[in-house]
Structure 1
Amino acid sequence: MRTLKTSEAAAILNVSPNTLRAWERRFGYPRPMRSPGKHRLYTHGEVVALRDALNDGLSISSAISRAREAVRADTHVLLGALTAFDLGRADQAMEAALALRPLERAVEEVMLPSLDEIALRNGVDSAPWAWSAAWAAEWVQRARRLTPPPSRAACVLVGDATAGPHDRRALAIRALELFTARAGARVVTLPVGCLAGLGPVLDAHRPDAVVIAGAGSPDDELARWAYAVRASVGALPVLLFHRGVRPGRSASARTLDERASAAVSQIVAAIEPPSGLPEPGMGERSQSVAARPRRMSA
């Protein structure tokens, strides 16, 4: 995916950088990413779509509406491919989506809405949903395999509490795992129903935070798993993702944003060393993280 600095995007649109930033504040478009140095990076496809609309003589508000529709068209293309059960077209639709936006936005703005629409039309107990969900899970797995090695010392343990691969929340959880790995953390996912041999796995990975993801497992099963995790590695920060509101839930467990990209930012904040302290080397358990007061409960 090609990105542009503010000055480059402004030049393509034939406006000043200040005007471009004013459009961003007023209309939320074009919406930039941020570089590691916190500089704006605009997606080339979004800028070009806006330029073409402006060249047709539209006002800025109308041009932005047209550019957004052009970008949103990718969702319709993917939905059509999945409805036709065409793997090749589905892959091509995601490649086109990636040409216009970062991977995280391609998943959240194109893939997940398309899968939601199929679930609404057919139900999650239908063959079209099963087929589409399997394609999406495989696509996310391929993206995960292409993710660079972890750049952070921290490890995130994901307790999969879904009702299985056809659970409607499962794909959002796979997206969370992918985005967390792309943020540089190690990710280990274990079903909350699996207790046998849990200790050696946790001893090998030494997680720094636990994300309980999904609402398909009963509370008693989750409580047993949480107790086993705590017995193996001690008290950890507990974060809930797509768990839903449950009576009697411990106040020590923090609920994450339902958008995977926003949830990852919250996870990184929970595992990041305090500002000003060096991050420990790969494979070392962070003393700064381990020293924090932490509680783990279901």
Structure 2
Amino acid sequence: MSPNTLRAWERRFGYPKPARTAGQHRMYTFGEVAALRDALKEGLSISSAVSRAQESLQADTQMLTGALNAYELTRADAAMAAALALRTVDRAVEEVLLPSLVELAGQHGEDSAPWSFSAQWAQDWLRRAQRMTPPPTRRMGILIGDATGGRIDLQDLHLRALELFLARAGARIITLPVSGVAGLGEALAAFRPDLVVVAGGSESDELVARWAYRARVSAGTLPVTLFHRSTSRVRTTGSQALSISPSAAHREILALLDSAARTEAPSLSTVDLYAAREALQERNAS
């Protein structure tokens, strides 16, 4: 298949769907191209081949859903391993893990034993994947205010997926519950974030507002973004709602940070100024 042919099919059928490099070059996933190639070898028309290829990739979701419904951890891990053989980590999470959990939540409800088992497995898988991520390669730091309420639900799993995607992009991340403001200033002075993400809609507006105020007192005015939370629920001027898709949200966050880095003149960070002011006040007091 020539590049021109792939691009024509992408425009007409939305498949195969490539990722983009920083230079906007297309990067096709091997699994999608291979599935399409195999379908074409059977003599199908291009539209039928696209449908067949999409169905073959959707089989991974069915495999994972079946394993979790049967309470089989080993088979669930194997289903994700099969998904990773044809996709990047980000796409395996976005196209297999999260859709499977959405399907299970619809089947059983988020207050059921099958859901609890499946959600705990998914959270553990995402945390294991994040632990295997290489150390940060970018200076940018992202402070995530966890407003999911501490429950393992779809909100929480989308947040864990966002953490994984940002870590894989090389960003520094710190996630803190919005319920805890004690010691927040010291944490931010050490971490020096460049952007805030308020994630989840389970915690009250008052709690989030108090946490956001304390974060601003400690780190200065930072861009504030909202993930799985309505803009009308946060009393922060200029806050920006992110896409509900973790992969789209992580790209939006990186674009915001890259844009800010290009426009800002070199200067002391807000946290540097805050720390210097605190040191001066302590010296004057003594």
Alignment of 1:164-243 (within 5 A): 164-243=150-229
Provide the rounded CA distance (Å) in 1 between the counterparts of 2:138 and 2:254: 10
Provide the rounded CA distance (Å) in 2 between the counterparts of 1:103 and 1:154: 22
Name which of structure 1's ranges 100-109 and 56-65 shifts more when overlaid on structure 2: 100-109
Structure-1-length-normalised TM-score: 0.85
| Contact 1:33-1:42 within 8 A present in 2 as well | yes
The match for 2:87 is 101
Provide the rounded CA distance (Å) in 1 between the counterparts of 2:172 and 2:27: 26
Q: 3-state DSSP class of the match of 1:169? A: helix
Q: Write out per-residue CA displacement over residues 229-249 of structure 1, whole angstroms, 9 at most, x where no aligned residue.
A: 111111111000001353575
The match for 1:148 is 134
| Contact 2:209-2:234 within 8 A present in 1 as well | no
Provide the rounded CA distance (Å) in 1 between the counterparts of 2:149 and 2:112: 15
| Contact 1:98-1:106 within 8 A present in 2 as well | yes
Q: Are 2:113 and 1:130 equivalent residues in the alignment?
A: no
Q: 3-state DSSP class of the match of 1:163? A: coil
CA separation of 1:263 and 1:204: change in aligned 2, threshold 3 A: same
Aligned equivalent of 2:54, options 63, 68, 80: 68
CA separation of 1:248 and 1:185: change in aligned 2, threshold 3 A: closer
Provide the rounded CA distance (Å) in 1 between the counterparts of 2:212 and 2:153: 21
Q: Are 2:28 and 1:42 equivalent residues in the alignment?
A: yes
Return 5+ residue gaps in structure 2 as ranges. 272-286
Provide the rounded CA distance (Å) in 2 between the counterparts of 1:45 and 1:288: 46
- Cα deviation, residue 34, structure 1: 2.8
Q: Write out per-residue CA displacement over residues 158-194 of structure 1, whole angstroms, 9 at most, x where no aligned residue.
A: 0000022323200000001111111111010000001
The match for 1:85 is 71
The one-letter code matched in structure 2 to 1:140 is L
| Contact 1:208-1:289 within 8 A present in 2 as well | no
Provide the rounded CA distance (Å) in 2 between the counterparts of 1:288 and 1:202: 15
The match for 1:163 is 149
CA separation of 1:236 and 1:277: change in aligned 2, threshold 3 A: closer
CA separation of 1:69 and 1:154: change in aligned 2, threshold 3 A: same
Structure-2-length-normalised TM-score: 0.89
- Structure number with higher helix proportion: 2
| Contact 2:192-2:219 within 8 A present in 1 as well | yes
Q: Identity across aligned pairs (percent)?
A: 56
| Contact 2:165-2:247 within 8 A present in 1 as well | yes
Q: Write out per-residue CA displacement over residues 196-232 of structure 1, whole angstroms, 9 at most, x where no aligned residue.
A: 1111111110111100000010011111111111111
Q: 3-state DSSP class of the match of 1:141? A: helix
Size of the alignment, in residue pairs? 271
